[in-house]
Amino acid sequence: MVARQDLRVKEAIEVAGCLSVQMSFLHAHASVPLARALIRRVVGAWEFDRPLVQDIELVASELCTNAVLHGAASCLGCFDVRLAPQPRGLRIEVTDAGPGPVDRPAPSALAENGRGLLLVSRMCESWGVDATSDGTVVWAELRTDAA
């Protein structure tokens, strides 16, 4: 299955004028590094500068991790990632079948997790959560002056 997903991304990269790429991943921890690697390939093909590619990878990884940890799988057992270039950057959307954001207490100073969305909020120009009839979309927009 990994090779098949990789092939689809390769085909999307080779399409001239590709406006966005959407990928589906199994709702499992093992999908997060796979998503990150495929995202790196896509945004690399779109020729974003290296620092922005690294930021995109990190933000996408945080959003995918949250979908796996706190979201719900679709009827197919998946979550979706959509990448859409913008005039000055990139929009990342991660969709899962969960009910939406839940108020969580702030992590303690010694906690090893619980700061992902804080990191996203600091790295992105904007981000948010949209409820849909099918679940939740968490999105983030990263900007660069060079884009």
Q: Tell me the per-residue pLDDT of 59-114, one tens digit each, with 9 for 90 and over.
A: 999 999 999 988 888 888 899 999 998 888 899 999 999 887 666 656 666 656 65
**Do the beta carbons of residue 135 and residue 76 sit within 8 Å?**
no
Helical H segments across the chain, by residue range: 2-14, 31-45, 50-70, 116-123
Structure-token pair, residue 86: 């913008």
pLDDT mean across residues, the chain? 81
Q: Rounded to whole angstroms, how far apart are CA atoms 35 and 18?
A: 19
- Any idea which fold 20-103+112-143 has? Heat Shock Protein 90 (3.30.565)
Burial of residue 6 (CB within 10 Å: 0-12, 13-18, 19+) is middle
Q: For residue range 133-143, what is the model confidence (pLDDT) as tens digits?
A: 889 999 999 99
Domain edges within the chain: 20-103+112-143
